[in-house]
Amino acid sequence: MKHRYPIILCLLLLSFVIVARADEIKLSNGDRITGKIKETSEQTVTIETDYAGSLTIRRSAISSINSNNLTNAGITERQSVKSQTRKTNSESENNSVFSGPAFGLFAGWEGNGSVGFNYSSGNSNNSTLATGIRAVKKAGGETLSFYARSLWTSTRSRGRTSTIQNAYWGGIRFDQNIGSNLFSFISFDFERDRPKKLSFRSVPGAGIGRHILRKQHSEIDIIAGGAWNRTFQTGPNTDTPEILSGLNIKHKFTPRLKFQKSFTFYQNATDLNEYRFMLDATLNIDVTKRVGFYITAGDRFNNDPAGQSKKNDFLFTTGIKWSFGTKN
């Protein structure tokens, strides 16, 4: 009989441990966050952690929530929370970024569009118009992203107007998670620059990537793979296999001050002396949840341009932007 008391005591202690265990949130990318759930809404869940303080997570990024202590955490509508979680789980299991009417291409996007304009007269008569759009759509372990930018500049001298910049470029990429930190991707990028005698460049590519850092306020991804560069230009057209590598960084300084940077390097696989890269860095300043300002610095470099074109184009633009989709 005496030997039973330690066993009973251990079972009681174990039951207390089970009841008092930490809440756990499992994210769609496979990461897990443990702590104590403090607050929930239809859009977000806030959890208090020992290692990072209070974290607020979008429900769209949550795969499941495990908690036996919702009431003690200050959540009184337990059944409502469970139903919201089941709805999120159901959506994560069933949806793809291509689910829905027209393959889901007209719903579920988040992002922003921007426009900037500059005009000067007097000793110089110049006009510059810059536009851009960036959007992303996530579902389950899939991510579909799209970007496009354009830049037009004209100058007027002695009654004559000439276009010195008329370029647009963009791309689309599909990512599929293949582990907690790894993902595969396929992409298609395009570019046109008439003053540089570049009629059109198309670059399909594919490869793998890794989430180096995935926190609430910071994200760092690296990618590597191959691409095929088909260029239509003044002179002979070219078809070039390329090795691509890239780095993407996102950081939220405050809810209204965000930074984003993308860098992609293309190495000619048949001639190591030929390479090019594209760099874009943007600082977004939100005035409201939908409207704000942006500052973008970009660099497009090609060490073997067509004709007499310069190798490097540095772009600095600023203007207003508006956001669409769900906002944090």
Residues 315-328 pLDDT 10s? 888 999 999 986 54
The range of the structural domain enclosing residue 263 comes to 104-324
Rounded to an integer, the average pLDDT of 144-160 is 87
Beta strands in the chain (DSSP E): 23-27, 32-40, 44-49, 53-58, 62-66, 110-120, 126-139, 142-157, 160-177, 182-193, 198-214, 218-233, 238-254, 257-268, 275-286, 291-302, 312-324
Q: How confident is the model at residue 40 (pLDDT cuts 50, 70, 90)?
A: confident
Q: Which is nearest to 294 in space by CA: 271, 269, 317?
A: 317
* Residue 99, domain member (yes or no): no
Q: Based on the domain organization, do 218 and 303 belong to the same domain?
A: yes
Q: Based on the domain organization, do 150 and 260 belong to the same domain?
A: yes
Query: pLDDT tens-digit profile of 244-291?
Result: 999 999 999 998 999 999 999 999 999 999 999 999 999 999 999 899
Q: Based on the domain organization, do 166 and 204 belong to the same domain?
A: yes
Q: Based on the domain organization, do 199 and 282 belong to the same domain?
A: yes
Q: Based on the domain organization, do 88 and 226 belong to the same domain?
A: no
pLDDT at 202: 96
* Residue 186, domain member (yes or no): yes
Average pLDDT, the chain: 82
- 113 contacts 321 by C-beta, under 8 angstroms: yes
Q: Domain boundary residue among 46, 71, 94?
A: 94
pLDDT at 86: 46
Rounded to an integer, the average pLDDT of 223-242 is 92
Greatest extent of the chain over all pairs of C-alpha atoms, in Å: 108
Q: Domain boundary residue among 94, 112, 139?
A: 94
Q: Based on the domain organization, do 24 and 46 belong to the same domain?
A: yes
Q: Total structural domains in the chain?
A: 2
Q: What is the percent of the chain where pLDDT is above 70? A: 83
Residues facing 232 on adjacent strands? 200
**CA dist list (Å): 18 to 4, 23, 106, 283:** 21, 11, 45, 46
pLDDT at 193: 86
Q: Based on the domain organization, do 116 and 84 belong to the same domain?
A: no
> Which residue has tokens 């929530």?
65
* Residue 39, domain member (yes or no): yes
Q: Based on the domain organization, do 182 and 48 belong to the same domain?
A: no
Q: Based on the domain organization, do 109 and 232 belong to the same domain?
A: yes
Is 77's pLDDT higher than 60? no
Q: Based on the domain organization, do 82 and 170 belong to the same domain?
A: no
Q: Based on the domain organization, do 58 and 207 belong to the same domain?
A: no
Rounded to an integer, the average pLDDT of 39-53 is 82
Is 212's pLDDT higher than 90? yes
What pTM, to 2 d.p., does this model score? 0.69
Q: Domain containing 303 — which CATH number?
A: 2.40.160.40
Is 10's pLDDT higher than 90? no
Q: Domain boundary residue among 94, 128, 146?
A: 94
Q: Domain containing 10 — which CATH number?
A: 2.30.30.100
